[in-house]
Structure 1
Amino acid sequence: MSIRTLITEDSITALRALEIKLSEFPEVVIKGTVNNGQEALDFLSKNHRIDIVLMDIEMPVMNGIRATEIIKQKYPQIKIIIITMHDADHYVFDAIKAGADSYILKDTKADKVFETILDTQNGGAVMSPSIAQKTLSFLRGSSFSGHVSEDESPQLSDRESEILEQIMKGLTNKAIADNLFISPFTVKRHIENIYKKLHAHNRVELLHKANKKKFLG
């Protein structure tokens, strides 16, 4: 299995550091590197057979949030992982609203970057722990107006509740599997069920609905 990856990063130093991290994992095949969001769009217009885009936020010409929004509109099958040094609230929520699948920080260790790529490619959504906590804190203190269903609260199984608690900590599917002594495949299936039961379409909706329906303390 190979994961075709495009890196969008304007800093040569950050780009090189990321390439070194990914060089440990032959499954990740870097198909191209570009300097800004517009260059990412130009690249994809000629070669949209890309699985993952690793996207910085602050870049010249077109930033990563705007590029994410456009890529998701044109190529919804492509997964986008924001990988940035910024964890300010507005960056996090703007990126998620734009359609980013996962959001991690640049100081994330190589093995965690790889786990994030795998999880995201398999339909998961990963946040660095600090990002997950910011998101949860924001939702607990706001009137977030996502597409929230007023349906009767669904019942999560004990295992689903355990996994939801792990998700709120920003853990990857593999980390959750290790903690609960089950396979990543089983974790993925449980997460799919949680999304269906809560009628959630992205990580912010999941956090909000889990909090609203009192699945979280």
Structure 2
Amino acid sequence: MPRYRPPEALTGTPGKAVLPRGTLLYRVHGAHRPAHAFNPRPAHCLYGGGRFDGTSCDPYPYLYAGLGAAAAVCETLLRDLEFDPSGGPRLLPAAAIAGRRFSTLRLTTDLTLLPLLGGRDLAAVHQDPWLIHTEARDYPYTRDWAHWLRRHTDPWACGLLWPSKREPGERALALFGDRCPPGALRVEPDTALDLDGEAGRAWLDAVLEPYQVRLAP
């Protein structure tokens, strides 16, 4: 595993991916926080936290989303859900959706992200698919790399864009709250679904069925 430290200098030329104004973003998030709100709490440098969270070493607010609904659902809810060796459906426990909401956002302005979509994109920043595919045990390293990537794409990179690990046909992204213009994200009206409510469970069941997942009673 390439757990080496980032080099001092960035010698490649990183790519740029522009998400145009009007692009829809999809989120599964805690209902206690508005869908367009960035998480202001830095993750611990070593323990807990997500793949590209801000930490005390680089305490930026962050927000994860998908460019498709399936990416948002799979990245948030299916990360640790193992397949049944007997071939039966995977069961998603009720605790996984308690207090969670599915929301749709719309960009009100163009945002430029650093793409990590293929081998060339990754090689340009001295990395390979480990950065976007590794599991949570390595997240302290991926967070450190995210901080390094931010330093070498300052000020233009408003976030990172990569293929969803759990739904490779769609893309996931992390936005940096200190680089996105105020008001860049607008919540789409009448699109929120509380996943632990009747309508939310019915919608989620339909999304999960192709992944051999069912909600536990």
The structure carrying a bigger strand percent of its residues is 2
Structure ranking higher in helix proportion: 1
- Flag whether TM exceeds 0.5 (same fold): no
TM, length-normalised to structure 2: 0.24
Flag the structure with more relative contact order, 1 or 2, with Cα contacts below 8 A and sequence separation at least 6.
2
TM-score w.r.t. length of structure 1: 0.24
